[in-house]
């Protein structure tokens, strides 16, 4: 089937907000009296906010009540939102804007498929709203990837068949979600980690919309 739509994950695909998550967790750790390194932060990637907090507390040997944990998670998120509110379009990953413009020129529908509840703020800061026909974020789904819910909702909003969609993802769980949704997938990043994707590219710098027709 001809490719008619592209669905994009947000962090690691269109921009890199992982550094802001790290800064917020590091700040919380400092407040709790221990250090938190970038190497330790690798354990938090792709993990929910509350599970990330549990890992952080384990690293710092901190025990506390459930209420205290919820307050800490909320504080961390407030800091994270402070950071992303200072983002601008310069933080788009290389080649992203050109590729989104090519999608428009080639008649491809576009959507965001992210479980981030802060996706709206980030899209506004990056000025990407006009490049996307639909946005599905964490406030609209109940299941995290690898569940395909976020992508299936995206295709429904776009009015396209899942088999006519290509998902762009940087995480193995996202590639698996695309597979379960019956969609094609292009991994952004490490081929070893994204080995289940149909194709893997290092980024959008040398990737063009017309290549999708050649590949799929």
Annotated active-site positions, please?
A: 9, 11
Distances (CA, A) of 153 to 121, 161, 162, 169, 193: 20, 11, 10, 16, 26
> d(Cα 25, Cα 204) in Å, to the nearest integer?
29
Provide DSSP, 147-199: SSHHHHHHHHHHT--GGGEEEEESSHHHHHHHHHHT-EEEEES-TTTTTTSSE
């Amino acid at each position: 089937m001809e490719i008619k739509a592209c669905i994009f994950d947000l962090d690691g695909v269109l921009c890199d907000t992982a550094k802001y998550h790290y800064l917020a967790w590091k700040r919380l750790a400092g407040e709790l009296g221990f250090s938190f390194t970038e190497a330790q932060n690798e354990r938090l990637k792709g993990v929910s906010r509350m599970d990330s907090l549990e890992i952080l507390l384990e690293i710092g040997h901190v025990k506390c009540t459930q209420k205290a944990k919820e307050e800490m998670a909320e504080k961390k998120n407030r800091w994270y939102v402070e950071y992303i509110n200072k983002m601008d379009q310069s933080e788009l990953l290389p080649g992203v804007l050109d590729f989104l413009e090519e999608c428009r020129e080639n008649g491809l529908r576009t959507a965001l498929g992210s479980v981030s509840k802060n996706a709206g703020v980030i899209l506004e800061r990056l000025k990407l709203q006009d490049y996307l026909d639909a946005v599905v974020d964490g406030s609209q789904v109940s299941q995290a990837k690898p569940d395909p819910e976020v992508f299936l909702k995206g295709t429904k909003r776009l009015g396209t068949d899942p088999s006519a969609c290509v998902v762009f993802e940087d995480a193995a769980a996202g590639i698996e979600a695309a597979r379960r949704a019956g969609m094609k997938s292009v991994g952004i990043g490490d081929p070893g980690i994204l080995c289940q994707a149909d194709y893997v590219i290092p980024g959008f710098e040398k990737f063009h919309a017309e290549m999708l027709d050649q590949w799929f």
